[in-house]
Amino acid sequence: MTVRGKAPAKLNLTLSVSPGEGGYHEIDSLVCSIDIADSVVVSSRRDDKVNIIMHGLGSESIEYEDNNAVKAALLFQKTFGTRGVDITVYKNIPMGAGLGGSSADAASVLKCMQKLYKSGTDEEVKGLADTLGSDTGYMTYGGFARITGRGEKVERLDIPKKRALDIVLLLPKTGVNTRDAYRLSDLYNDSKNPNRTPEAIQALADGDTAALGGSMYNDLLRAAEYLNPEVAKARKELESFAPLGVNMTGSGSAVFAVFENDMFCEWAKSRYRGRYSCVRTRTIPGKPAEQEE
């Protein structure tokens, strides 16, 4: 039997970072799913092997041991005593950009295996996902949410589909090392910045997209721009279109702008003449359905 799943990318509309216990960082972030997604196909096996085939965007070079989709499958298998699986991932989410592609793939594999083997509750699957990455648990649900702690605390937000955000995304060719970004942010003492996540959530709930744009921020932005000047260049290029707000997602290097509506979004994309890949996207609701074959 085969189960297919969609693995949507995410954006951090806000990201507050503060020092946590044992050298870890605590975050407070307003996140959302967007309509850029990997396709994941998971098929049952009669033995215990876990195989994977990656397609697209250079994902073929990811080592088996480093692949989060493989880690997810092995963890599910160990936890619930299931047989193995054959996994195929068709990559559409740019890698190393802060869009959460590897976490999305891992979350989708867990959800597909849950359906394939009829094992585990949603809470149990989310718990497994939390061990694989700070945003992987959130990605078992997707949509708009507030994530706190180390990313394991997820407060889902019920935002009407008609309030989808219109977004232009710029993708520098080089990424940002996540550990270096957090380390440098600590040196900058960016944890002293005010946490504007509650303000952004209220603007989103009120349907005030202009206020939401003005509330967007990322405590890792300054560090990322130092580590990769392309981030700063991309941000300035987007700001030249006077959007409602510009931000970086995760630790970068993708930078995005929120526009008032689809028309302005299309206008900005059509007139962009910069050096980076430019993508138009929109936010989507959570819990994309798996399709069983």
Active site residues: 10, 135
CA proximity to 278, closest of 36, 88, 27, 72: 36
- Separation of alpha carbons 118 and 120, rounded Å: 7
- Separation of alpha carbons 20 and 14, rounded Å: 18
Q: Please, are residues 248 and 218 in contact by the beta-carbon 8 Å criterion?
A: yes
Alpha-helix runs per DSSP H in 158-259: 178-188, 197-206, 209-215, 221-227, 229-239
What long-range pairs does 56-59 form, CB within 8 A, spacing at least 24? 56/90, 56/91, 56/92, 57/91, 57/92, 57/93, 57/94, 57/95, 58/95, 59/89, 59/91, 59/95
Tokens encoding 273: 């003449």
* One-letter amino acid for residue 216 of the chain: M
For the chain, the C-alpha Rg in angstroms (whole number) is 19
Question: Other CB atoms closer than 10 Å to residue 194's CB: what's the count?
Answer: 8
- Separation of alpha carbons 109 and 133, rounded Å: 14
Tokens encoding 4: 């297919």
Q: Please, are residues 237 and 36 in contact by the beta-carbon 8 Å criterion?
A: no
